Chains A and B, each alone.
Chain A
Amino acid sequence: MLLVLAAVWADGQLHRRLIMDRRTHTFGELVPYGKALNLSLSRRLNKLEALHGYALKGLSPEGRLTDEDFESYAATLIVSVPGVRRVSIAPAGVQSFVYPTESNLAEVGKNLLDNPGPEIEQDILEAMETRETVLSSLGRAEEEAATLTARRALYRGNDFLGLVTITFEEAPLLRESGLVPPPPGLSLELRDGSGSILYGSRLLEAADPIAYRIEAPDRDWELLAAPASGWEGEILPFVHVYRSIALSMALLLSVIVYLVSFRHQQLGAEIERRTRELSSANEALLSEVRERKEAELALRGSEERLHRAEAFSLVMVAHLDLEGRWIRVPPTLCDFIGYSAEELLGHHIQEVTHPDDLQADLEQLEFLKRGRSKTSDLEKRFIRKDGQVVWAYTNRSIVTDESGKPAYFLAYLRDITSEEAAREAIQESEERYRSLVAVMTSFVWTNDPAGRFVGSQDSWEDYTGQTPEEYAGFGWVEMIHPEDRQMMQVCWEGAVQSLKPYQAEARLWHAASDTYRYTTASAVPILLPDGSVREWIGTVNDIHDRKLAEEALRESRELYRQIVETASEGIWLTDTDWNLAFVNARMGEMLGYEVHELIGMNVEAFTFPADKEAFELRKQSREEGVSQVYQANLRRKDGSELCALFSAGSLTSEKGEFMGSLSMVTDITDRVRAQRALREHERRLARLMKNLPGMAYRGLIDAHWTMEFVSDGCEQLTGYPPSKIIGNPDLTYVSLIHPDDLHNTCSAIATAMKNHEVFRHVYRIYTADGTQKWVWEQGQGIYSAEGDIVALEGFITDITEQKEAEDEIIRLNEELESRVERRTGELEQANRELESFSYSVSHDLRAPLRGIDGFMRILEEDFAADLPEDGLRYLNLVRKNAQKMGQLIDDLLNFSRMNRQAIRLVQVDPTKIAREALDTLRDESEGRRLSISIGELPQAKADPALLRQVFVNLLSNALKFSRDREESRIEVRSRIDADKGIVYSVKDNGVGFDMRYKDKLFGVFQRLHRAEDYEGTGVGLALIQRIIHRHGGQIWVEAEPDKGATFSFTLGEVAIDE
């Protein structure tokens, strides 16, 4: 009996466990219905939102709509939602706009604020008060299909404008959610927020149903479910199997015991021992069987769980004690929350619950504990050990011990993090498409066996706009695009003959959009028992948008493929390890590899060691998701350098993980090379410009001659930095030009530009500090290919110093000239005085001398006889002195005349002149031994009379100072001197003189010999020197006492005139 008891206890345990598993399973079954219902309801409520927006925008304070076509708006609004009864806008509560009007005539003009009935009034007040959507299932009549009404108040600021209302049927909502027809095996109940049953049979509390929350605007609904056969019914087959096995075992054991005691009592201890052994073996067997069964059940349970896990993501089962502390945590849960089992066990659930969900969580546990509800479910957030927030759906129930007292909480958890995200996404996309759609995606029609439309085809009518008369028979063919009709006909005829379903794609007229739209039509024959066709049932699916989208997608893919393949940029894509996952042909070409060689190569292979650091930094940026445009050098296959411009971005997963990098690469090698060359050139040019002692410029041909460029020399030249002048129409270079020079300068430039000439101009400018500078400018116009002037380029330099020096020279010259003039005047005056003096001397001094001489002569001639010897001698001396004085006066006059007399240069023959001079000296040479040689003297330019005088004087001197020689030797020669040119010389063998006195030689009245030895006035050589100097020549002498003297002279090329 103990065995039986044990079996009964185990049975109880098993029972509880099976029910728990069953509940989890059932919840899983309920979720899709709940979600679908949520979606369908929100679609309808979104229509109200749209209507609200429409009314708010279009409703005037007077209660009119700016959009006059309310009907077509409303028709469009509800076309995708089946079962909408009524759409209305009620300015100030009066339903002025109602659609469709025909079926709602009673509603038109109804004032919702004026006693609409207690239930409606309550809704309306709530809507006005909360300014939120109020959903109500009230006001439905028993005889009609159940409806729901959603209302929202219109406010502009705080001004109440009216109400918008949508009333829709419940049935389509339930159909869409899959709740009609009811899912097999489940009893369902849909309750609204107030507890009213919207659908299904009332499930008693005793049925212990599972609940799913449906989001409704004001109060959430509940979708409750329980197995149709009750929880017990579900697990009965398992329990029965268990029970029959356990009972059979117990029965078998009893039979054995009975047989043994009856037949072999004598065997006593033996049998007893055997019995004990058997009994224990049987016990072991029983326990083994039980364990196996349990294991089997457990296995089946876990199989189911596995199955569910696969179907509905992961379900985790955990136990909490009544205080909310973990007492069992499966490894899956540990993974989910990120804590180890050791870390969780014994700790309170609230430690890992998101603070926002904590209160609801604790409340639910408390409710369960107090028995206020059997199970509760909650979508709540956990905070993982790593701080990440995860969403879980939890369903909890309380497990009681045998006495019915609460023992612990059983919690099912499911990771819905991604569902939560999906839901958000769905909501988002729903909103996006909400206002878009005016197209029914599919509809159903029926044909007779021959393909004729019989009876009314509402959907067809709606879609194509054909009236029943029009589409009757084969009238419907008219709605198919002419190009598709034949194909359609062939297809259709084939189907009619073969009695096989068909499907075809054709363009069908769509009245609402006034175009043909792509559709697929499929039809199946409904066969009568005799095999003949009763009718065809077909559907038409509007695939227009999908088709266009597919086409656009295909085109866009093709476009992208072409772009990538034909791009002049290289494109590469790396994986997370920076190996190339894709490269286009151009990229291969740029790197010098075949495309297939590149795939799988690490991008580091293209990096030069010097760029390693930058490369790593960029890798880091990519991995952080930062996009960059940069320039880098890549190593080509042949080791050469590729300068490239990269536009690189990261590829990331939805979760933001780095998936790889995508780069667009432009080959700028040539550009970079050209830039380098250009920079080098510019650098040289800049250095050159910088060193220019002035300013190079390029000026625009505009009203102000605005400078487009000036070199650094600008600052030194003008005192303004280049930045102040360049492109500044307020401070132009032209404005610096001295006003007096402006006109000349501009017209010089304009003339040069017109004639395409280089211009050079000197003018003044004012520098920044107001000082005046002289500048020299050279420039020329720059012309376009068409010959239009586009700019003026040139160079300006400071010539102030030169200019000042030049001015100084001019000034000095002028001063000098006036000084010369003055001096000349003085000289002329002196000359005049000298002339008159000379006259006086010649006339007045000579007269008394003539008297002395004359009377002495008379005395000598007439009275010689009366005078003693001495008297005669004195008389003679007096005469000689008088004559000498006369000679002196004459020589002096001669000399002074030489200074004034003009000289007349002609080609002369000095040889001849020398000979003539010698001839005039015949008197002096008479009676002497002479050796006079006159060599061949080259021709020269000279005044013949004056040159003769020179030779006369020199030869005369030579004869005079050599007269004491036995033989006078005189040579007249010429020679060519490297420095002096032609040198003429007269050499004698006379007494010579001491060279110490040579400077005195050419002075007037200077004599080196005593008058009693050699007569002379001392004017001769002075006269010669004067003549030679006036010819531009020189005269000099070499002599030695008693060794003779040589006088040499030259004749300058050009005589120096007065």
Chain B
Amino acid sequence: MSEPVQILLVEDNPNDVELALHAFKKHRLSNRVHVARDGEEALDYLFCRGEWAERDRSTGPKIILLDLKLPKIDGIEVLRQIKKNPSTRSTPIVVLTSSSEEPDIEECYDLGVNSYIVKPVDFDQFSEAVAQLGFYWLLLNVAPNFKRDGS
């Protein structure tokens, strides 16, 4: 029996995965992170399908960090599926983006994403942001039903 997963990181870039995990680790969050390397894997994991059919859905995740640019099923689609499914709808999602210029950000908000982080080149900043996020969502355990309406 594994411990409940606190964080689902959906990220295809191994550098970014490693850096993120490094940051989580630094802030003692690493053992509760599950990494999905593409959209399909992320959805399988979340909906306990395929490889993850045996998984107990109640084990999380409590928060999802989602990169938008993913192989197979892209981030937007993943987001849409999550928000469509009642069992996952209330799970907070933080979108990780390469820049604020990404055209999908608007759509993300429309689909009910809770926050987003621009992935800076400066690792320190990134580390800081990830850490803050982790704390914020995991530790304060605020009710996940927060939703932005429109704007």
A interface residue numbers (CB < 8 A to B)? 835, 838-839, 842-844, 846-851, 853-858, 882-883, 885-886, 890, 893, 897
- Considering the complex, which residues of chain B in the window 84-138 have a beta carbon less than 8 Å from any beta carbon of chain A? 98-99, 101-103, 119-124, 126-127
Least distance between A287 CB and chain B CB atoms (Å): 180
Residues of A within 8 A of B13 (CB): 847, 851
B122 near A851: Cβ-Cβ < 8 Å: no
Residues of A within 8 A of B124 (CB): 857
Partner of B98 from the list A842, A854, A883 (CB cut-off 8 Å) is: A842
Least distance between B127 CB and chain A CB atoms (Å): 8
Q: How far is the CA of A844 from the CA of B15 in the complex (A)?
A: 12
Q: How far is the CA of A855 from the CA of B121 in the complex (A)?
A: 11
Residues of B within 8 A of A857 (CB): 123-124, 127
B62 within 8 A of A: no
Q: How far is the CA of A897 from the CA of B103 in the complex (A)?
A: 12
B22 near A854: Cβ-Cβ < 8 Å: yes
A839 near B19: Cβ-Cβ < 8 Å: no
- Give 30 A-B contacts (CB < 8 Å), ordered by A residue: A835-B103, A838-B101, A839-B101, A839-B102, A839-B103, A842-B102, A843-B69, A844-B98, A846-B98, A846-B121, A847-B13, A847-B15, A847-B98, A847-B119, A849-B121, A850-B119, A851-B19, A853-B121, A855-B19, A857-B123, A857-B127, A858-B19, A858-B22, A858-B123, A882-B121, A883-B121, A886-B120, A890-B99, A893-B99, A893-B101
Closest to A850 in B: B121
The 6 lowest CB-CB distance pairs between A and B, nearest first, are: A886-B121, A842-B99, A851-B15, A854-B123, A843-B98, A854-B19
Known: A883-B121, A886-B121. A850 touches B101 (CB 8 A): no
Residues of B within 8 A of A886 (CB): 120-122
- Extra A-B contacts (6), CB below 8 Å, given A843-B99, A848-B15, A853-B121: A843-B69, A846-B99, A855-B19, A883-B122, A885-B121, A890-B99
Closest to B121 in A: A886
Closest to B23 in A: A854
Q: How far is the CA of A306 from the CA of B23 in the complex (A)?
A: 182
Residues of A within 8 A of B122 (CB): 853, 883, 886
B15 near A854: Cβ-Cβ < 8 Å: yes
Least distance between A132 CB and chain B CB atoms (Å): 142
Interface flags, B10-39, vs A, CB<8A=1, else 0:
000101101100100000000000000000
Residues of A within 8 A of B18 (CB): 854-855
Q: Is the interface of A mostly helix, strand, loop or mixed?
A: helix
Known: A857-B123, A886-B121. A850 touches B19 (CB 8 A): yes
Residues of A within 8 A of B120 (CB): 850, 886
Q: How far is the CA of A890 from the CA of B101 in the complex (A)?
A: 9
Closest to A882 in B: B121
B interface residue numbers (CB < 8 A to A)? 13, 15-16, 18-19, 22, 69, 98-99, 101-103, 119-124, 126-127
B126 near A854: Cβ-Cβ < 8 Å: yes
Q: How far is the CA of A842 from the CA of B19 in the complex (A)?
A: 18
Q: How far is the CA of A262 from the CA of B16 in the complex (A)?
A: 226
Closest to A886 in B: B121
Q: How far is the CA of A849 from the CA of B126 in the complex (A)?
A: 13
Q: How far is the CA of A851 from the CA of B13 in the complex (A)?
A: 9
B16 near A842: Cβ-Cβ < 8 Å: no
Q: Is the interface of B mostly helix, strand, loop or mixed?
A: loop
B102 near A843: Cβ-Cβ < 8 Å: yes
Least distance between B81 CB and chain A CB atoms (Å): 22
Residues of B within 8 A of A897 (CB): 101
B15 near A850: Cβ-Cβ < 8 Å: yes
Least distance between A309 CB and chain B CB atoms (Å): 153
Q: How far is the CA of A911 from the CA of B103 in the complex (A)?
A: 34
Q: How far is the CA of A897 from the CA of B101 in the complex (A)?
A: 8
Closest to B22 in A: A858
Q: How far is the CA of A877 from the CA of B102 in the complex (A)?
A: 29
Partner of B16 from the list A844, A850, A885 (CB cut-off 8 Å) is: A850
Residues of A within 8 A of B101 (CB): 838-839, 842, 893, 897
Least distance between A825 CB and chain B CB atoms (Å): 21
Closest to A890 in B: B99
Q: How far is the CA of A849 from the CA of B15 in the complex (A)?
A: 10
B123 near A853: Cβ-Cβ < 8 Å: yes
Known: A855-B15, A855-B19, A858-B22. A850 touches B123 (CB 8 A): yes
Least distance between A885 CB and chain B CB atoms (Å): 7
Partner of A846 from the list B103, B119, B123, B127 (CB cut-off 8 Å) is: B119
Q: How far is the CA of A844 from the CA of B99 in the complex (A)?
A: 10
Residues of B within 8 A of A854 (CB): 15, 18-19, 22, 123, 126
Q: How far is the CA of A838 from the CA of B119 in the complex (A)?
A: 16
Interface hub of B19, B22, B99, B126 (most chain A Cβ within 10 A): B99
Residues of B within 8 A of A847 (CB): 13, 15-16, 98, 119
Q: How far is the CA of A847 from the CA of B121 in the complex (A)?
A: 8
Least distance between A836 CB and chain B CB atoms (Å): 9
Residues of B within 8 A of A846 (CB): 98-99, 119, 121
Q: How far is the CA of A839 from the CA of B105 in the complex (A)?
A: 12
Q: How far is the CA of A890 from the CA of B99 in the complex (A)?
A: 8
Q: How far is the CA of A542 from the CA of B39 in the complex (A)?
A: 157
Q: How far is the CA of A340 from the CA of B32 in the complex (A)?
A: 180
Residues of B within 8 A of A856 (CB): 123
Q: How far is the CA of A835 from the CA of B102 in the complex (A)?
A: 10
Residues of B within 8 A of A851 (CB): 13, 15-16, 19
Least distance between A889 CB and chain B CB atoms (Å): 8
Residues of A within 8 A of B16 (CB): 847, 850-851
Least distance between A777 CB and chain B CB atoms (Å): 61
Q: How far is the CA of A895 from the CA of B54 in the complex (A)?
A: 50
Q: How far is the CA of A18 from the CA of B79 in the complex (A)?
A: 181
Q: How far is the CA of A843 from the CA of B123 in the complex (A)?
A: 16
Least distance between A907 CB and chain B CB atoms (Å): 24
Residues of A within 8 A of B15 (CB): 847-848, 850-851, 854-855
Q: How far is the CA of A885 from the CA of B126 in the complex (A)?
A: 16
Least distance between A876 CB and chain B CB atoms (Å): 13
Closest to B104 in A: A839
Least distance between A796 CB and chain B CB atoms (Å): 64
Residues of B within 8 A of A850 (CB): 15-16, 19, 119-121, 123, 126
Closest to A887 in B: B121
Q: How far is the CA of A847 from the CA of B18 in the complex (A)?
A: 13
Least distance between B27 CB and chain A CB atoms (Å): 13
Least distance between A923 CB and chain B CB atoms (Å): 15
Q: How far is the CA of A170 from the CA of B120 in the complex (A)?
A: 172
Q: How far is the CA of A853 from the CA of B119 in the complex (A)?
A: 12
Q: How far is the CA of A883 from the CA of B126 in the complex (A)?
A: 13
Q: How far is the CA of A858 from the CA of B122 in the complex (A)?
A: 12
Q: How far is the CA of A556 from the CA of B65 in the complex (A)?
A: 141
Residues of A within 8 A of B127 (CB): 857
Least distance between B112 CB and chain A CB atoms (Å): 23
Q: How far is the CA of A890 from the CA of B69 in the complex (A)?
A: 19
Residues of B within 8 A of A844 (CB): 98
Q: How far is the CA of A851 from the CA of B122 in the complex (A)?
A: 9
Residues of B within 8 A of A835 (CB): 103
Residues of B within 8 A of A838 (CB): 101
Least distance between B20 CB and chain A CB atoms (Å): 9
Q: How far is the CA of A886 from the CA of B123 in the complex (A)?
A: 12
Closest to A897 in B: B101
Least distance between A824 CB and chain B CB atoms (Å): 21
Closest to A847 in B: B13
Residues of A within 8 A of B121 (CB): 846, 849-850, 853, 882-883, 885-886
Interface hub of A838, A850, A854 (most chain B Cβ within 10 A): A854
Residues of A within 8 A of B69 (CB): 843
Least distance between B118 CB and chain A CB atoms (Å): 9
Least distance between A837 CB and chain B CB atoms (Å): 11
Residues of B within 8 A of A890 (CB): 99
Q: How far is the CA of A64 from the CA of B126 in the complex (A)?
A: 157
Q: How far is the CA of A855 from the CA of B18 in the complex (A)?
A: 9
Closest to B14 in A: A851
Q: How far is the CA of A843 from the CA of B99 in the complex (A)?
A: 7
Q: How far is the CA of A842 from the CA of B103 in the complex (A)?
A: 11
Residues of B within 8 A of A842 (CB): 98-99, 101-102
